[in-house]
Amino acid sequence: WTLVGYRAPRIVFDDHNAEYQLQASASRVDSQHPRRWLRAIYSWVQASRIRRREALYASAADACLAVSDEDAGLLREVAPGVSVEVIANGIDVPSYRASASTTVPPTVFFAGKLDYRPNVDACEWLVRSVVPIVRASVPEVRVVLAGRDPSPAVQTLAGPGVEVTGYLSDAEMRARLAGATVAVVPIRMGSGTRFKVLEAMAAGVPVVATPFGAAGSGIIDGVHGLLSEDASDLGASVVRLLRDASLRESMAVRARLLAEARHDWSAITPRLIDVYRHLISGLRPTSSVIATVRSEARTVGAVISGVARQQPPPAEMVIVDGGSDDGTVRVIREYSSRQDVIASGLRVSVRSEPGANISRGRNLAVGSAVGGVIAAVDAGTVLASDWFSRLVAPFDWDAGVGVVSGFFVGAPETDWERALAATTLPLVEDIDPVRFLPSSRSVAFRRTEFARAGGYPEWLDYGEDLVFDLAMRRLGVVFRFQPRAVVRFRPRPSVTAFFVQYYRYARGDGKAGLFALRHAIRYGAYLGGMVLAVGASDRRLGVLPGTLLLAGAIGYLRRPVLRLAITATSPGDFMRCAPLLPLVRVVGDVAKMVGYPVGLWWRYSRGLPTHDRRPMIVRTTE
């Protein structure tokens, strides 16, 4: 689908399963069995990796679909502020004929792909832990494990009273289901919704399941089926249904009615169409773009042109000049009168405030803007053509979102700049949407939340956007990460410019009382490195100090090397830039170690505490 008036397509992330929860639950279950500990460790590692990847996919989408309230909650937990609609899984309910089976002997039925890890665990648990409890009361009960590709572990379960069918056609599977007395779904790991539950509901076969197995189905315990957590209760529930035909019938009728109302395509399709209609509604956001500049005559015109090329552009762009001496204001006025800018409908205004720092300039720009949503950008950036639409769309979709965090990538032109970008700029894969704090070169926020936070801190000349972000975090404002709202910018072109930049950043940390532990660790790491370097020169200590020093250096450079390997355009680029990575690390760290105490002294001289201990609040929308 393409949003009316927009060039960029709208993206819907359909999360059939909360995949990281599948691995996390598998790790929990497998950790209870020593023979499965290796699998438990594997799933634990995978859950962490997939959690971040799933969060990035959800954050990049204009809308997310989940199949259950449980999965929707999990998505909001890992990607705060994302718009999640719950659209239940669907089946063609009328195609299932309600069962009136009086099968002899009574049959307990489980269906699924029998080499799928959650199903394998369910089969083993059912046969080894639940069925013995059932047989103690109903010794003639028969168990059918139906599905293709049974694993060796499932095949070994076959025996007296237990059938493993192997592959069945759709008609054969429906016939087996219709002939069952009870459908049992003892799932302990996974996510999403089990179709086996929906099919049993539609077929009029009463269901006994774990709450995990019934997730997303709408089953209420004791109304549409029986839900139990442990093997003894599951067994007792199966026995209860096997012995009570009237209870089986009443629950089956209510479950079928629930399936018709909740899971038939006639109920689901209109809700899904509503989601798409909302995305293509083409409502123009009432938003403004702001920027503050000083001596940016060379770059400010490109930013104005970039904003004018947005599809659609904002209603206005407000620029505050902090006292440029290179003709920046003249360039702004020239560009605002260009035919392409006028034709776009963008109105550009400039306000000259000599001496205003970045915080003061941004606050003045917000005060002059008319939009209820404010998008901030810096001079020197190159905007993707859909930057603005990606950044402001979540506000229209979800009234609970207060801030949308865009992303930024480097646009290096020299080997030094490529090494600098690899060392200092994260890749999108490095971002945790829950904790990411946006740069004001790519961010949007509601005016109301800006006011609650008190605006940007005008007492701070560097790191002001971080302090602004933290203020809103402490208020519980919902942040939404949008990795596709991308701007590009050129890293500092020289060692000196980089040193000054990071000195000012660290001085800002000190002034704001931030990251005391992080800076202390840096001092400690370099002190430890010097001790190891001295020890490495002492032959009496052997190779241990040198080995530890080398291991520490490799660990410290690991991430920049990996980023450079990903971003380098050729092996030659990588080989030229890699030797510069240690230099970038050392220069940046020295700049921080020099700048931080300067900021702390500024803070101490004003009687302020050495660091800010106020807690942050991470809140998600419901």
Architecture of domain 95-257: 3-Layer(aba) Sandwich (3.40)
C-alpha to C-alpha distance for 586 and 420, rounded to whole angstroms: 11
C-alpha to C-alpha distance for 355 and 433, rounded to whole angstroms: 36
| Residue 166 backbone dihedrals phi, psi, to 5 degrees | 75, -160
Pinpoint the residues of the chain covered by CATH 3.90.550.10.
Answer: 287-504
C-alpha to C-alpha distance for 317 and 335, rounded to whole angstroms: 12
Q: What is the DSSP letter of 578?
A: G
Pinpoint the residues of the chain covered by CATH 3.40.50.2000.
Answer: 95-257
Q: What is the pLDDT of residue 612?
A: 57
Instruction: List strand residue ranges (DSSP E) for 497-547, in order.
Output: none
Contacts of 28 (CB under 8 A, 6+ apart): 40, 189
CA quadruple 557, 559, 560, 565: dihedral sign? positive
Contacts of 485 (CB under 8 A, 6+ apart): 384, 386, 387, 388, 390, 391, 404, 406, 407, 442
Tokens 């209860």, located at residue: 240
DSSP 272-340: HHHHHHHHTS-PPP-EEEEEEESS-TTTHHHHHHHHHTSSSPPSEEEEEE---SSSHHHHHHHHHTSHH
Q: Which of 312, 315, 309 is nearest to 290 (CA)?
A: 315
Quick check: pTM over 0.85?
A: no
Tokens of 262: 């909740």
Q: What is the pLDDT of residue 63?
A: 84
Tokens of 129: 């832990």
10-residue mean pLDDT profile of the chain (622 residues): values are 46 86 86 87 88 86 86 85 85 81 82 92 94 94 94 94 93 91 92 88 94 89 92 95 93 92 89 81 71 92 92 88 92 88 87 91 91 92 91 85 93 95 92 90 93 91 90 91 93 95 93 91 92 84 85 91 92 93 95 95 81 48 44
C-alpha to C-alpha distance for 220 and 445, rounded to whole angstroms: 41
Cβ count near 238 (within 10 Å):
28
CATH topology assigned to domain 287-504? Spore Coat Polysaccharide Biosynthesis Protein SpsA; Chain A (3.90.550)
